[in-house]
Amino acid sequence: MFKNFFFTIFLSLIFVSFLEASNEKINQQIFELKTSHDYAQKINDEKITLIMGQIIQKENEIKELEKELKEYVNKEDLEREINYQNNRIADINSHVDKLSISVTVVGILITVILLLFTGTFFYVSNKKHLEKVDEWINKNKDKILEPIHKEGNDLLRNIEDKALMFYQDQLKELNLDKKLNENQKQTETEIFNKVNKLLEHKEKEKYTYNDWNSKFLDYYYKERYEDALEAIDNAISKSKNNSELVTALVRKGFILGQLERNNDAIVIYNEVINKFKNDEGAVIKEKVLDALINKIEMNLIENNENNEDDLSLFHYLSKERKENLMKYSMLRIIENAKKMNQDIEIKKWKREFSDTKFTNWFFDELKNWINKYEDEVVKERLLRYIDIFEKHNESVEEN
């Protein structure tokens, strides 16, 4: 199509060039005629000047010279001939100018016609090609758009993943504490809503450890403990390092305690203790301590004896952690309170830990266990002690 168009333009240019060459040749002939006329005029002027000079110099020969001029050179005839030649040249110039204009106009018209013809041909050919292109695009548009859609979806997923990571980072340090104030609850609820919204666009098969851990926290705060247990099991299966694994296992033990599956919780805590007790990492040591103190609590509730190895390990790891010792001493007081009054021990405990607060500790399991006690006297005593321990943080703030 483009070859035909350029070939037509090329022929048009050749034709115009030919017309210009013809016009140039005619102009050359006119120039030669004008040159001949000027030359003749020059000769004539010289002859007249010579004759007039002879007349002035030789008055006696004027008549003879005039006769001779009349015989050989008739001035009127010569002027008449010159005027004739001038008129002829003027006519030729007029015709040449008209011819030149006509040739130029004809050339332009021919060029315009050729361009119109070429344009029409180009339009018709182009229309056919455009129809073929449209047909090809319609057939292959999905294949053409596939990489564009893929790139757009990848970009969207990347943005969503970064947003998800941002919100999940805010949940990492969240303790399993139900006693959130209204502002905290509102903030956490907003974060969970955003996380859940982002996870709706993600296939569950592609959920990461952080995704399942976020779901676990959301279910926990909504008291959907069975769903929380399923979520933390999935988090365990997606864990990529010991830090993630030990955190998820301790949380699984905790949620089993919320479901009053205490013996199952003890199994999980034993797994944590046996697998990670020799790990030197600070985070993992802290989680092993959590497993130990939670296991001691579960043994109290289930009326099991604590393993001496566990107690030794607990005291070894807790030597610089006063809060863990406070929790252990509290559990020992409750265990002894099943048999006798512990008011003196309570006072000693309060003095020793007057500057230490409970963090990440719940009394729900202990209260559920106490409320099932058949001995009302023991139940009343235990609940009174639990109430003292629950209010301990308030007394620390007052001091």
pLDDT at 73: 47
DSSP per-residue string spanning 301-370: HHTPPPPHHHHHHHHHHTTT-HHHHHHHHHHHHHHHHTTS--HHHHHHHHHHTTT----S---HHHHHHH
pLDDT at 381: 94
Count how many domains the chain has: 2
pLDDT at 282: 87
d(CA 370, CA 100): 123
pLDDT at 96: 42
Q: Give the domain-ending residue among 145, 164, 187.
A: 145
117: Cβ contacts below 8 Å, ≥ 6 apart: 8
d(CA 333, CA 366): 13
- Within 13 Å of residue 153, how many CA atoms lie on the same side as its CB? 8
Task: Give, rounded to a whole angstrom, the gap between the first and last alpha carbons of the chain.
Answer: 95
Rounded to 5 degrees, what angle do the CA atoms 248, 254, 259 make?
A: 125
Residue 224 falls inside a structural domain: no
Query: Among all chains, which residue has been given the structure tokens 């050339």?
Result: 107
Q: pLDDT per position in the chain (399 positions), as tens? A: 444 544 555 555 554 454 455 555 555 655 554 555 455 455 555 555 665 565 566 556 556 655 654 554 455 655 565 566 556 555 545 554 554 455 455 456 656 565 565 555 555 555 565 566 566 667 666 666 666 656 666 655 666 666 766 766 667 666 665 555 566 667 777 887 888 888 888 888 888 999 999 999 889 888 899 999 999 999 999 999 999 999 999 999 999 999 999 999 999 999 999 999 998 888 899 999 999 999 999 999 999 999 899 999 999 998 878 999 999 999 999 999 999 999 999 999 999 999 999 887 888 889 999 998 889 999 999 999 999 999 999 888 776
Q: At what angle do helices 242-258 and 225-238 cross, to 10 degrees?
A: 160
Residue 113 falls inside a structural domain: yes
Residue 204 falls inside a structural domain: no
Domain span at residue 57 reads: 2-145
Q: How many CB atoms lie within 10 A of CB 268?
A: 25
Residue 332 falls inside a structural domain: yes
Residue 184 falls inside a structural domain: no
Q: What is the largest CA-CA distance in the chain?
A: 182
Q: Give the domain-ending residue among 145, 164, 185.
A: 145
Residue 333 phi, psi (nearest 5): -65, -45
Q: Give the domain-ending residue among 145, 163, 190.
A: 145
Q: Which helix (H) or strand (E) holds 396?
A: helix 392-398
